[in-house]
Amino acid sequence: MLTVTAQRLELRATIGRGPTSTTAAEFIHGRMGYRRHHGGGIRQPIARAIGLRGGWRPTVLDTTAGLGCDAFVLATLGCQVDMLERSAIVTLLLQDGLRRAALHPATAAIVATRLTLTQVDALQWLAQNGRRGAHDVVYIDPMFPSQPNHHAMARKEMQLLRSLIGPESEETAQLLQLARCYANQRVVVKRPLHAPVLPHLPPTFFMAGSSTRFDVYLTSQTSQIDQGSQQ
C-alpha cells in the first residue's frame, strides 16, 4: 500500500514470508546522495554509454523511468532527461521524490531545469512520436531479475517494483525497434552483466560495469567515429 509519512511517500508490501518491504524515490540521501558526490562523473559506464564527453550533453528520453535513479544521475551530469513511466503508482513515488529534491538546495536546480516526468506507456508514446531528432538518446532499462550477488534489501525493492511494472517481456524488443527509429544518435539498453543481448539485433558496442552492462545501438551516420570515441 501507499503510505504517507512525515518525510515522504512510500510503497509498503510484504514479499513472500519476509518482513514488510519499503520503497520510495530518494535523491537526496542514501545511495543516490552518495552517488551524486562520488559517482565517477562522465567516466562511469552509464555516462560513457549515453555519449557524454567534453562539453557535450545529449538530450535523453528515459522510456522506463522506474524510481528515476539513472535519469537523476544523468541530470546531475548535465543532461536534459525526459522520463516516461507507465505505472501510476511508481509515477506517484517518483513525483514525490522529485518534489522533495526540488526543495533541497543541492538538487533544486537539477530538478527544475533538467528533469521532466510523464505517466504514459513508452510503446504508445514512441508510436505517436516516431520522428527522429527530438532526443539524441533513448534509454531503456527493462525490469530484469535480481542477481544473486545483489544486497538483500535491493532484491526486495526490485521484487516490489516488478510486482507493479512486470518483468522484462517481448515488449522490450518492440520498444528497442521503435526507439531506434526515434533516437537521433543512439539507443542504450541496460542489461545484467552476463545476460544475452535482446533478440534480432546485436548492439554496436557495449559498456560494462561491475554488475550491469549497457548495450549501445548507434543510429547516427557517424557511428564509426562515435564508437571509437567511446572505447
List the domain boundaries for the chain.
Answer: 26-230
Most confident of 152-156, 172-176, 198-202: 172-176
Tell me the pLDDT tens digit for each residue of 51-69. 999 889 999 999 999 999 9
* One-character DSSP codes across 136-159: SEEEE---PPPPTTS-HHHHHHHH
Query: Which one of 1.20.1260.10, 3.30.1360.120, 3.40.50.150, 3.20.20.70 gives the CATH number of domain 26-230?
Result: 3.40.50.150
> 139 has which bridge partners?
62, 188
Reported pTM: 0.84
CA-based nearest residue to 191, from 183, 181, 202: 202
pLDDT, tens digit, 9 for 90 and up, residues 13-35: 765 566 677 888 999 988 888 78
CB under 8 A, 24+ apart: contacts of 152-156: 153/21, 156/15, 156/18, 156/21
How much is the mean pLDDT over the chain? 84
Number of DSSP helices (H) and strands (E) in the chain, helices first = 9, 10
